[in-house]
Amino acid sequence: MIKSSVLPIIVSLLLFSCSTTKQVRDDRKTVDGTWTLNDVGYENNEGDFKAKLFDDASAVCFEGSTWFFRNNNSTGRYTIQPGSLCSGGERNIRWSIIESQGGGQQLQFKYIDEKKNDINGRIGYRLDVVSISPSQMTLKSDVTVDGSPVSVVYKFNR
């Protein structure tokens, strides 16, 4: 009798421990759709920086880029406009929002091909969620430049 009552408890614990929180689910719904990355800025350090973001292109190429996030299958893309400094085109991604170990939330993504297969294996990117609303989203990633911390801040609008 005890064995039969323990199994449902264990199954319930496993299901709840693997499920996402209500906040993560709500934020996924809010992120769903098309965004424009209007500004890439830097915090915590002085000076001018030349950054290659997401092993793809320079920060100036990302300003004005269009990002699309599809909630129902966790895929999306971003599109960089072609220019003298930028190799334009679409980049397909698989994304999710997770709870970070520090208690906040992170948007993570990795590159995929047209058939939704990973391109770079297990390599991906995580950005801290600073704020998300229906019309604005701010993300941040911390990097090190010459031994000093720098935060790259990404500001999106709809």
Task: Look up the domain containing 101 and give its range.
Answer: 21-157
Give the span between the Cα atoms of 136 and 118, in whole angstroms.
Answer: 29
User: How many distinct structural domains can be found in the chain?
Assistant: 1
pLDDT in tens, 33-73: 999 999 999 998 777 777 889 999 999 999 999 999 999 99
Query: Does 129 reside within a domain?
Result: yes
Asked which of 8-22, 60-74, 115-129, 137-151 is least confident by mean pLDDT, the reply is 8-22
Q: What is the mean pLDDT of residues 17-39?
A: 84
Burial label for 42, CB within 10 Å (0-12, 13-18, 19+), is: middle
Query: Does 5 reside within a domain?
Result: no
Sign of CA dihedral 26, 27, 30, 31: negative
Q: Quick one: tokens of 120?
A: 């770079």
Q: Quick one: tokens of 30?
A: 């809010």
Query: Does 49 reside within a domain?
Result: yes
Give the span between the Cα atoms of 115 and 129, in whole angstroms.
Answer: 28
| pTM (predicted TM-score) | 0.82
Q: Quick one: tokens of 89?
A: 């085109």
Query: Does 86 reside within a domain?
Result: yes
Looking at residue 80, which CATH number applies to its domain? 2.40.128.280
Query: Does 118 reside within a domain?
Result: yes
SS3 of the chain: helix, strand, coil, percent, to 5:
20, 45, 35
- At residue 82, the pLDDT reads 93
Q: Quick one: tokens of 25?
A: 């689910």
